[in-house]
Amino acid sequence: MSPIKVKFVDLGEHYRRIRDEILPVFDNLSLKGDYIMGEELKKCESNLAQYCETKYAIGVANATDALILCLKAMGIKEGDEVITPPHSFIATAGSIAAVGAKPVFVDVKEDYNIDADLIEKAITYRTKAIMPVHFTGRPADMDKIIAIAKKHNLKIIEDAAQAIGARYKGRKIGSLGDAACFSLHPLKNLHVHGDGGFITTNDDELYSKLMKLRNHGLKNRDYCDDWGYNSRLDNIQAGIVNVKLKYIDQWNKRRQEIAAYYIKELKHYVKTPEDLDSVYHLFFIRHPLRDKLQAFLLEHGIESKVHYPVLIHLQEPARRLGYKEGDFPVAENYIKELLSLPVHTELSDEQVKYVVEKIKFFCELYG
């Protein structure tokens, strides 16, 4: 096997490029001893709200907590149901289960997002919310989802973990539902040095509840209004966000440029996305010999990934809900062929061309 020539991600190089801006943030906050719930976090939340075109942003420990906190703040509990797709990271459905509610899965479309035309069939008297996932950074069909939610008096929690900076018909992802949850995990387009996340909302009452819930339910230092959680984005991570946020549009644009090149060069060889309506946290291709293609690329020094090889409804916890293979044929069929190519901003043009060259060579050999 060749040495790795094209990494799937390159966090070291990413850090090297802005290291001189990150180190003073760490040093200044460390000298002040200002680590938790300080001015840096307030500044970060203000910056994120402005960027996402929302009234509020709330920094939390991670995106999973963000989803759980939103569900709790909306009063979703044991016996309730929340509709979501089966193709996502396990945390999407796991957050629903964590509050005692039942994840109810709805199949996806060819764009890998929830099929809004199937949602109403899944609604029961127990349904309290819809949790669409903007998968790979491509917005879900929010017009239809919003119309359904209004018709049935349901809440919308956007799982926007992969979609910071994306727009849906001119509006920023994060500003469309009752709340949206974002990840700042190191693999995301905008990330911190560890776990982190944030919530956006335009709802005053929801914001007030979330601010307390993320900090033990406290209304001030000494008095508590409710049982809450310890889920706070610390000041050093907030400071890193404040440095990186000014670059996110530039980074997303680079991802879109790489994706556009992949689509242009590979569309006659493999199945590629049909448009560029995405910020490309992930870039998928589809090929019937996916596993063989992945092994071939690795032999030539190119890392790739499969996201996510076991759909959520086929994970052991979901089987207890009564799901089985064959329940969601669209997702189950395409997951056998999906392969994620490197699309990070540290890729050089030469590396991107090398990936294309090797995929074309494979397809010419094996079809």
Decide if 6 is inside a domain.
no
Last residue of a domain, one of 191, 217, 246: 246
Domain check: are 71 and 125 in the same one?
A: yes
From CA 103, how far away is CA 314, in angstroms rounded? Answer: 13
pLDDT tens string 170-179: 999 999 999 9
CB 155 within 8 A of CB 74: yes
Is 22 part of a structural domain of the chain? yes
pLDDT tens-place string over residues 65-108? 999 999 999 999 999 999 999 999 999 999 999 999 999 999 99
pLDDT at residue 219, rounded to an integer: 87
Choosing from 246, 271, 290, the residue where a domain stops is 246
The pLDDT of 188-216, averaged and rounded, is: 97
CA distances from 104 to 177, 192, 227, 234, 321 (A): 19, 32, 27, 34, 9
Residue 179, SS3?
Answer: strand
What number is the average pLDDT over the span 242-258?
A: 98
Q: Are residues 262 and 224 in the same domain?
A: no
**CA geometry: angle at 91 spanning 88 and 94, to 5°?**
115
153 and 285 within one domain? no
Give the pairing of strands 155-159 and 167-168: unpaired
Whether the Cβ atoms of residue 113 and residue 63 lie closer than 8 Å to each other: no
Is 273 domain-assigned?
A: yes
In this prediction, residues 305-310 reach a mean pLDDT of 96
CA pair distance 85, 76, nearest whole angstrom: 18
Q: Are residues 199 and 261 in the same domain?
A: no
251 contact partners, CB below 8 Å, separation of at least 6: 189, 190, 345
Place of tokens 């802005």: 18
> What's the CA dihedral at 262, 265, 267, 271 to 10 degrees?
-40
For residues 344 and 288, membership in a common domain is answered with yes
User: Within a 10 A sphere around the Cβ of 317, how many other Cβ atoms?
Assistant: 13
Task: Report which of 202, 183, 239 is spatially closest to residue 53, judged by C-alpha positions.
Answer: 202
pLDDT digits (tens, 9 = 90+) for 40-57: 999 999 999 999 999 999
Average pLDDT on 348-352 reads: 98
Between 277 and 85, name the one with better pLDDT: 85
Is 90 exceeded by the pLDDT of residue 332? yes
Note whether 89 and 218 are same-domain residues: yes
Q: Does 293 lie in the same domain as 239?
A: no
pTM: 0.96
C-alpha span between 294 and 298 (Å, rounded): 6
What value does the mean pLDDT of the chain take? Answer: 96
Indicate if 78 and 151 belong to the same structural domain: yes
The percentage of the chain sitting over the pLDDT mark of 90, rounded to a whole number, equals 94
Distance of CA 3 to the CA centre of its chain: 30
CATH of the domain at 128: 3.40.640.10
- The more confidently predicted of residues 222 and 292 is 292
Does a structural domain hold residue 3? no
Domain shared by 176 and 252, yes or no:
no
Statement to judge: residues 210 and 334 lie in one domain: no
Whether 54 is in a domain gets the answer yes
The pLDDT, as a whole number, for residue 1 is 66
Distance of alpha carbon 101 from the chain centroid: 21
- Domain end point (choices 246, 263, 292): 246
Mean pLDDT of 236-248: 98
Number of domains the chain is built from: 2
CATH of the domain at 254: 3.90.1150.10
Q: Which residue has the tokens 């239809």?
A: 144
Domain range for 291 is 247-366
Q: Are residues 180 and 265 in the same domain?
A: no
Q: What is the pLDDT of residue 274?
A: 80
Q: Are residues 240 and 289 in the same domain?
A: no
